[in-house]
Amino acid sequence: MNYDYEWFKKAVFDLTKIDLNAYKEKQMKRRIDTLITKYDVKGYEVFADMLKKDKDVLGTFVNYLTINVSEFFRNPDQWSLMDKEMVPELIDKFGKNLKIWSAACSTGDEPYTIVMLLSRHMPLNQINILATDLDTVAIAKAKNGVYQAKEIAGVPADLKQKYFTTNPDGTVSISNEIKSRVTFKKADLLRDPYPKDYHLIVCRNVLIYFTEEAKDETFRKYYEALAPGGILFIGATEQIINYKDMGYVRKNSFYYEKPKG
């Protein structure tokens, strides 16, 4: 048997159901090889065996693989446009009971940013966000809602004062008022069924790791998941090249609309 990267991808799929074929190969392989070197093991076969036997190593591997860097109000210009354009437009079309999905939410920074931003437009108890990610370690951190001060550096001062408290160890906790507006679930964008009739889908900084085919398929699935008139909000460095073929209308480089009927 040739225990090469092709073999390892299958072993990872059997163990985790994560399909490494859908991620850009060069980048992913380099990350995995770096981790294997850190564990000081020889080759994919030994490492796969370690993953099978040690749940902690498996958890670390999935967490490392999924690259869950995030921060509150990441790319502030995008949030500013969401505040001034996107949200008023959505309220105009759908009212204030908006169905919003933060897909690949990582450690919660993004869905909590959405809640805080919407709190400027509507009462908190009207806000409900679905937030999903593949990585259960990231979701556990999101639910816990405790961050390093630097992770919330981008939060506007009034919101920081209103919704965060500083802990004795210097970390900060987000308030239960904000936490309670988000429902976190584990979901794999490549495998699990997508929800339906969403007014806003926020999916930033994850599809950059996918192959072109997987990316294309995901954008098409988001189209199906949106209600007519709904908006897809993507990362600052991303774009949908063949948006027209998929049926989207481009409103801006990072936000696209599913036209109404």
Ligand X SMILES: C[S@@+](CC[C@H](N)C(=O)[O-])C[C@H]1O[C@@H](n2cnc3c(N)ncnc32)[C@H](O)[C@@H]1O
Q: Which is nearer to ligand X, 97 or 183 (CB)?
A: 183
CA distances from 216 to 26, 102, 207, 225, 243 (A): 19, 18, 9, 14, 9
In the complex, least distance from residue 227 CB atom to ligand X, rounded to whole angstroms:
21
The torsion angle over the Cα atoms of residues 169, 171, 177 and 181, rounded to 10 degrees, is -140
Cα–Cα distance for residue pair 195/198, rounded to 1 Å:
8
> Exposed/middle/buried for 165, CB within 10 Å: 0-12, 13-18, 19+?
exposed
Q: Which is nearer to ligand X, 70 or 119 (CB)?
A: 70
Pairing of strands 146-147, 172-174: antiparallel
In the complex, least distance from residue 137 CB atom to ligand X, rounded to whole angstroms:
9
- How many residues touch ligand X (CB under 6 A)? 20
Contact status, residue 233 vs residue 205, Cβ threshold 8 Å? no
**Out of 74, 99, 199, 258, the residue judged to bind ligand X by CB under 6 A:** 74
In the complex, least distance from residue 207 CB atom to ligand X, rounded to whole angstroms:
9
Q: Which is nearer to ligand X, 124 or 190 (CB)?
A: 190
x/- binding map, residues 194-233, to ligand X, per CB under 6 A? ----------xxx---------------------------
Note whether 110 binds ligand X by CB under 6 A: yes
- Segment near ligand X (CB under 6 A); pick from 44-52, 63-71, 157-165, 246-254: 63-71
Q: Which residue has the tokens 């390093």?
A: 148
Q: Give the burial string for 6-19 (b: 16+ CB within 10 Å, else e).
A: eebbebbeeebebe
Q: Which is nearer to ligand X, 118 or 206 (CB)?
A: 206
Contact status, residue 173 vs residue 141, Cβ threshold 8 Å? no
**Out of 188, 216, 217, 238, the residue judged to bind ligand X by CB under 6 A:** 188
Note whether 135 binds ligand X by CB under 6 A: yes
Interface residue list for ligand X (CB under 6 A) = 66-70, 74, 104, 106, 109-110, 133-135, 138, 188-190, 204-206
